[in-house]
Amino acid sequence: MEEASNGVTSGVRDGSSNGQSHRNGNGHSNGNGKGNGHAQSHGPAKTLSSKGMSGKGLSIDLGTANTVVWDSENGCLFNEPTMMALRFNGGRHSEVIGIGHVAEELVGRTHDGVEVIRPLRDGVITDLETTRRYLREVLQGVASTWLQRRRLNVAIGVPAGATPLERRALLEAAEEAGIGRAHLLPEPVCGAVGCGVDPLQPRAHLVVDIGAGTSEIAAFGAGGLLTYRSTPLGGDEMTAALLQYIRHEHQLVVGDLQAEQAKIRAFSDPSPSMVVEGRDAVTGKARIVNLSPEEVSEAVAPVTQEIISVLTGCLDDLPPQSVSDIMAEGVILVGGGSLVPGFAKKVEDAFGVAALPAEDPLTRVAEGGARCLANPETVEAYAFD
Ligand code: ADP
Ligand code: MG
């Protein structure tokens, strides 16, 4: 893909528009795990099919909320919630009922012996065995035979702030799921590459990735990460903040799923107000309220401010030349959480540079991972050992 003069291509839309722990560029972590929200689908997911795999290179974005698999030639092969439904047959033995949308359908509808699991928290593995099973299920759809999986050359996105132990766990899960060769690449870099950036060029770039359970910023260029910051705050906390806001400002009780849908609709629904259904906090009766995108922006502001204040810290680490590269280009925004109303504007205010929201921010990391694979030099430069 040809690079535009600002170093970012058509993958980017025009710019403009509490009390938590964080990780910094030294890889130190004092973050805690948090509760999970709900994932949602993003456009029609393609049916898993071995026909879709070109064999040239496959990229997996194993996100807290969504898993995206991208083939370097054939594009998106899988884009579904990172969820797995298990049926326990007494004792510790369980069988996989389904993953992705199939598992999501069962949330809140499970009966005895059935459990829906999210294998990742804050972008990293919490349970090796579950993640291995999940990855195997995802891969089986794309590469159904053991031999096909052994031949795979795969890029897997990993948070820039993941610890060596967390990265090891992911590699082990990939190996045990049958992947022949797996390269772990920093997710923010993949996101920017998915927007058309060439990460081997000397010019520095800055990219923000707002996921469901974690947010990261990374500056990179000339074949290396310059600095990064991570915080275990993301779209899930924004949903929680909106739920609280609706409860306090409108005395309406809504569930996690309704709050998340309202948050997402604030972006996709062009009308000045949308209807949210819930129960009256006092009478318990069903009631609706009208919510505007401005209110959604206000409700999530404490979370977005906190995220941004952690992320802006990375500017202090950068040499002046890199800062001027970034001033000239702007900040690339990827990850579903970056779509929340008001986010791009807050980034612009805090960083003092233009925000460059990605066109399809939920799939850019996977696409970028596949593009990285096409160039062994890029893999060599950015893959974690
Ligand atoms: P992850 O990489 O952690 O799986 P994603 O990049 O897939 O995360 O983004 C998922 C998050 O983005 C969820 O918290 C979801 O609620 C949020 N999200 C998705 N679409 C929108 C939208 N239009 N507006 C606001 N938040 C959104
Ligand atoms: Mg992500």
Over residues 177-186, the pLDDT tens digits come to 889 899 999 9
* Among the listed residues 362, 364, 360, 312, the one whose alpha carbon sits nearest the alpha carbon of residue 206: 312
Q: Checking DSSP bridges between strand 153-158 and strand 58-62, what pairing results, if any?
A: parallel
Distances (CA, A) of 344 to 229, 296, 350: 18, 14, 10
User: Ligand 1 test: best mutation among 231, 264, 332, most atoms within 8 Å of CB?
Assistant: 264
Judged by DSSP in three states, 44 sits in coil
**Strands 355-357 and 331-334, how do they pair?**
parallel
For 77-123, how does the pLDDT look when each residue is reduced to its tens digit (9 = 90+)?
A: 999 999 999 998 877 788 999 999 999 999 888 787 899 999 888 77
Q: Is residue 368 part of a domain?
A: no
What is residue 367's predicted lDDT score, i.e. its pLDDT? 98
Mean pLDDT of the chain: 86
Amino acid occupying residue 157: G
pTM comes to: 0.88
Instruction: Provide the residue range defining the domain that includes 276.
Output: 235-302
CB of 197 shorter than 6 A to ligand 1: no
Q: Is the CB of 340 under 6 A from ligand 1?
A: yes
Cβ-proximal residues to 145 (8 Å cutoff; 6+ apart), any chain: none
Q: Ligand 1 in contact with 194 (CB < 6 A)? A: no
Counting atoms of ligand 1 from 1, which one is nearest the CA of 267? 23
Q: Is residue 37 part of a domain?
A: no
Within 10 A of 8 (CB to CB), how many other CB atoms are there? 21
The answer to whether residue 260 sits within a structural domain is yes
Phi, psi of 146 (to 5 degrees): -60, -40
Q: Identity (one letter) of the amino acid at 273?
A: S
Classify residue 290: in a domain, yes or no: yes
Question: Do 273 and 292 touch, CB atoms closer than 8 A?
Answer: yes
**Model confidence over 186-208: pLDDT tens digits?**
999 999 999 999 999 999 999 99
Whether residue 235 contacts residue 210, with contact meaning beta carbons closer than 8 Å, is answered with: yes
For residue 67, give the ligand 1 atom closest to its CA.
Answer: 4
On whether residue 45 sits in a domain, the answer given is no
Tell me, in angstroms, the distance from the centre of ligand 2 to residue 187's CA. 7
Mutate to test the pocket of ligand 1, among 79, 214, 267 (most ligand atoms within 8 A of CB): 267
Nearest residue to 40 via CA among 67, 65, 64? 65
CA–CA distances in Å: residue 115 to residues 82, 120, 128: 14, 15, 17
Q: Would the CB of 263 count as within 6 Å of ligand 1?
A: yes
Residue nearest atom 2 in ligand 1 by C-alpha distance? 63
- How far from 182 is each of 92, 149, 156, 179, 239, CA to CA, in Å? 30, 11, 7, 7, 33
Least confident of 5-14, 28-37, 65-74, 270-279: 28-37
**Quick one: which of 233, 205, 202, 155 has its CA closest to 12?**
205
In a domain, 204, yes or no: no
List the CATH number of the domain containing 265.
3.90.640.10
Task: Please give the structure tokens belonging to residue 178.
Answer: 């049958």
- Number of structural domains the chain divides into: 1
Report if residue 115 sits inside a domain: no
211 CB within 6 A, ligand 1? yes
Q: Ligand 1 in contact with 372 (CB < 6 A)?
A: no
Ligand 1 pocket, mutate which of 36, 66, 346 (most atoms under 8 A from CB): 66
Task: Give the position, in ligand 1's atom list, of the atom nearest the Cα of 239.
Answer: 16
- Residue 259's Cβ-count burial label (10 Å; 0-12, 13-18, 19+) is buried
Asked whether residue 273 is assigned to any structural domain, the reply reads yes
